[in-house]
Structure formats: C-alpha cells, structure tokens
Homo-oligomer: A and B are copies of this chain.
Amino acid sequence: MLKIRQLLVDVYGCEADLDDAEFLRSTLERASEAVGSTIVHAVAQRFSPVGVTVIMILAETHLSIHTWPEHGYAAVDIFICGEGRDPDVAWDVIREELRPASFDVRELTRTIGEKRT
C-alpha cells in the first residue's frame, strides 16, 4: 500500500507575471528538480486573451499550474510520488516565485493499492 500526499493550492494576489508561460514553465521545472523528480514531458500553453497552463509530467505523476492573470490567481496541483519526495518542497519553490498575497493549501492522501482503505 502506497500513500501519496497531494497538494492543491489556490494562490491569490500574485505579484509575479502570471501570463508569462516561460517563467511559469521554468518555475515548475525548478520545483520538480528541488523535490528530486524526473521530468518526462513538459507542456506550456498560453491562452487568449490571457492565461497560462503548464503541466510537467513526472515519473508517474504530475505538477500543474493554471493561471487567471486578470485575477492574480493561480491553481497549483502538486501530485508527486516516490519515497522521500516532499510536495511541500515543490510548493516552497513555487510560492517564492509567485509572491502571492495569500494562498489556501489543501492536502489529500491518495492510496495506491488493491482496494480502498
């Protein structure tokens, strides 16, 4: 039975430029590296007129950000498996870069196994 902590973070009042896909991509890369994850695939998509999605596919799981620059808001999902990998480390990197006025972290535990417990 493997348990994975997943963080879902609503980020408000960001000082960073949430419409800068390259900045967000490099932020998520740095977060993945900080936590010791292997990046398998990275996708960055800018929307019109504003808004960015970046998803890093990691070995087995993912890290994502969706931004609404017009609100200074970002939705961050940190779903990282692997022994000793701490999602808080990834969130620390992202928080430092986004420079939010406030945020709301929710944590879930995903139970990987034959049946639910």
Copies of this chain assembled into the complex: 2
**Contacts A40-B45, A60-B51 given: A104-B75 contact, CB under 8 Å?**
no
Binary per-residue interface labels of chain A (26-45) against chain B in the complex, 1 for a CB within 8 Å, 0 otherwise: 00000000000000110101
**A47→B59 contact, CB < 8 A:** yes
**A113→B60 contact, CB < 8 A:** no
A40 to B5, CA, bound (A): 28
A96 at interface (Cβ–Cβ under 8 A)? no
Q: Which residues of B contact A19 (CB under 8 A)?
A: none
Q: Which of B62, B79, B102 lies in contact with A116, CB distance below 8 A?
A: B102
A22 to B16, CA, bound (A): 38
A interface list, Cβ under 8 A from B: 2, 4, 6, 8, 10, 12-13, 40-41, 43, 45, 47, 51, 53, 55, 57, 59-62, 64, 66, 68, 71-73, 75, 77, 79, 101-104, 106, 108, 110-116
